[in-house]
Structure 1
Amino acid sequence: MKLTNIKRVGMLLRPSTPELKEMFFEAKRIFESRGIEVIIDNISGGMIDVMGQPFEMLCQNSDFLVTIGGDGTLISAVRRSYRYQLPVLGIHAGKLGFLADLDFAELEIFVDKMLAGEYRIDQRAVLQATITSPNGQSEIFAFNDIVLTRPSIAKMIRLETFVDGRSFNTYYGDGVVISTPTGSTAYNLSAGGPVLFPLTQVFALTPICPHSLTQRPVVLPGHFEIEMKTPDASALVIVDGQDLVEISDSDTVHIKLASGAAQLIHRKEFNYFEVLKEKLGWGN
């Protein structure tokens, strides 16, 4: 899939980093010199004294999004814009990221390549969580992971887990990471989970410091749905390490892969394994 007739790009900057102002204006110059209007979200704009648009309006008015910052900035943009199905291009302002892999110095050349169709859009899995409580339902999307964990460091948590309606496991420990392939190199990896190729339609369940050493990570096909309950106490649901929801012992959390994918814009020559090798220091 490729973008056609690109007229407007929405831009987001890493929060609390006003020094990105020069990068924004240079990026704006690059796009506008090629006939593409640049708009910025109002939070990023307020940070650098530029008039911006509310995020929802920005998504409605943009052909694709550009983030300048790091992986966290890109993850936030992907998750918040998911309903609009907008491709996202991540530019790293600092170290190379797993996701924000385009160096700012490459932007001008890359924009020309985009306009010539020399780029690619990767389709990546997104987690969809539905929290059901006595008061109703709420829906959450995650690009990296959803973590169910204990609200207090003093106690362990018990998580009853069902797969497609059938009892699967009871996790007892600090919690569980439910990770997309994209998020497999984040908290999931730190907790001892597997690295998953990012374009696969699977997700991983990785226990965090389990009480029993027999509890191991498991990878499930993307068409499965899991249900998790905490019958003894409340719990915290942490989304992409950025948003937090508290659930009670009467709530249930249903998690599955969302029907639509997140779309990441990459250079044609982007190679996931090269990034993985560099970031993890493999072969050194």
Structure 2
Amino acid sequence: MQASNIKKIGVLLRPSTPELKSSYFKLEKIFKNHGIDVYLDSISGAMIDIMGTEFDALCMHVDALVTLGGDGTLISAVRRSFKYDIPVLGVYAGSLGFLADVNLDELDEFVENMVRGKSRVDERSVLEVRIVSENDERKMYAFNDMVLTRPSVSNMIHIETLVDGKAFNTYYGDGVIVATPTGSTAYNVSAGGPVLFPLSKVFVLTPICPHSLTQRPVVLPGEFSIEMKTPEPRALVIIDGQDMHELDKNQSVHIKLATRTAKLIHREEFNYFDVLKQKLRWGE
């Protein structure tokens, strides 16, 4: 869908922030002034004492989602709405994010440009993560990253890794991050991984505090698939730093790029490198 065709939006607010009520009313007025109907998510509505619409029903009814908060709010919205294949716009309440890059004070001008066709929709790669056991399979999606790590700080973890079914590496340390290009500037970069251009069709494996200094981050093409397993009795799979799942030694984790992409609405002149320099303070 072109952003200029959006006639109905669903709004999600940063959780546990009832002080966003006045900002929501401002956002609602801006969109309505440009002929766009506004619907509020029921959890966000309960937070600010307004009747809202249950999330799945909301996604089926609207053309796009708008988050008011920060990158965490936007990431959660992308993951939860991924199966509905609708674009998401991040409006930041606070400081500029890597993903939420439109300020509430700029929103009126942005929406005016959007309805005139002067905005763009970027497609971002998403990880499909499956936890597989002998009789069961659980599928999840990660917008930023998936982390396989130890359940206790007192122990290291062995992680056997296969790429396209062939033995690749055995990591020994605190765990491994598998990050999308979008997520490369999150936990991945803190662990010494590379910054990837966000529209690339690749992903990166970055060991966390590896026992051997020869273990380095590896960037893989998007058509590859990864399998990870561990002889440890318990491990943790963490999705986007938001959802946690236990993994036992009889289960394995299978990771690949999802066939669909997440769609983010941006200003027409949005420049990723400008955001990167500002957020990481490059050149100062």
Q: Please give the range of the TM-score, normalised by the shorter of the 2 chains.
A: over 0.9
The 2-side partners of 1:277 and 1:231 are apart by: 41
Does residue 15 in structure 1 map to residue 27 in structure 2?
no
- Residue by residue over 1:174-227, the C-alpha shift from the partner in whole angstroms, topping out at 9 and shown as x without a partner, is 000000000000000000000000000000000000011110000000000000
The 2-side partners of 1:96 and 1:77 are apart by: 18
**Shift of residue 6 of structure 1?**
2.4
Say which SS state the counterpart of residue 110 (structure 2) adopts: helix
Say which SS state the counterpart of residue 118 (structure 2) adopts: coil
The 2-side partners of 1:21 and 1:49 are apart by: 9
Q: How does 1:13-52 map to 2 (within 5 A)?
A: 13-52=13-52
What is residue 274 of structure 2 aligned with on the other side?
Answer: 274
Please identify runs of 4+ aligned residues in structure 1 that moved more than 3 A.
none
What is residue 111 of structure 1 aligned with on the other side?
Answer: 111
Percent sequence identity is: 64
The 2-side partners of 1:52 and 1:68 are apart by: 15
What is residue 78 of structure 2 aligned with on the other side?
Answer: 78
- Residue by residue over 1:99-125, the C-alpha shift from the partner in whole angstroms, topping out at 9 and shown as x without a partner, is 001011010111111100000000000
**Shift of residue 135 of structure 1?**
3.7
- Residue by residue over 1:232-260, the C-alpha shift from the partner in whole angstroms, topping out at 9 and shown as x without a partner, is 32110000000000010000110000001
Does residue 241 in structure 1 map to residue 246 in structure 2?
no
What is residue 169 of structure 2 aligned with on the other side?
Answer: 169
Q: Normalization by structure 1: what TM-score?
A: 0.98
Where does the alignment leave 5 or more consecutive residues of structure 1 unmatched? none
Q: How does 1:1-284 map to 2 (within 5 A)?
A: 2-3=2-3, 5-284=5-284
CA contact (8 A) 2:68 2:92 kept: yes
**Shift of residue 34 of structure 1?**
2.1
The 2-side partners of 1:4 and 1:270 are apart by: 17
Say which SS state the counterpart of residue 282 (structure 1) adopts: coil
The 2-side partners of 1:135 and 1:42 are apart by: 36
The 1-side partners of 2:158 and 2:17 are apart by: 40
The 2-side partners of 1:110 and 1:117 are apart by: 11
Say which SS state the counterpart of residue 66 (structure 1) adopts: strand
The 1-side partners of 2:239 and 2:6 are apart by: 32
Say which SS state the counterpart of residue 265 (structure 2) adopts: strand
For 1:248, give the aligned amino acid.
D
**Shift of residue 5 of structure 1?**
3.6
For 2:123, give the aligned amino acid.
Q
- Do the aligned partners of residues 5 and 119 (structure 1) sit closer, same or farther apart at CA in structure 2, a change above 3 Å counting? closer
For 2:117, give the aligned amino acid.
G
For 2:177, give the aligned amino acid.
V
For 2:63, give the aligned amino acid.
D
**Shift of residue 4 of structure 1?**
5.2
CA contact (8 A) 2:232 2:248 kept: no
The 2-side partners of 1:54 and 1:150 are apart by: 35
Where does the alignment leave 5 or more consecutive residues of structure 2 unmatched? none
CA contact (8 A) 2:126 2:257 kept: yes
The 2-side partners of 1:72 and 1:9 are apart by: 19
- Residue by residue over 1:128-154, the C-alpha shift from the partner in whole angstroms, topping out at 9 and shown as x without a partner, is 011111340010100000000001111
Length, aligned pairs only = 284
For 2:132, give the aligned amino acid.
T
Give the root-mean-square deviation of aligned CA atoms.
0.9
The 2-side partners of 1:217 and 1:249 are apart by: 25
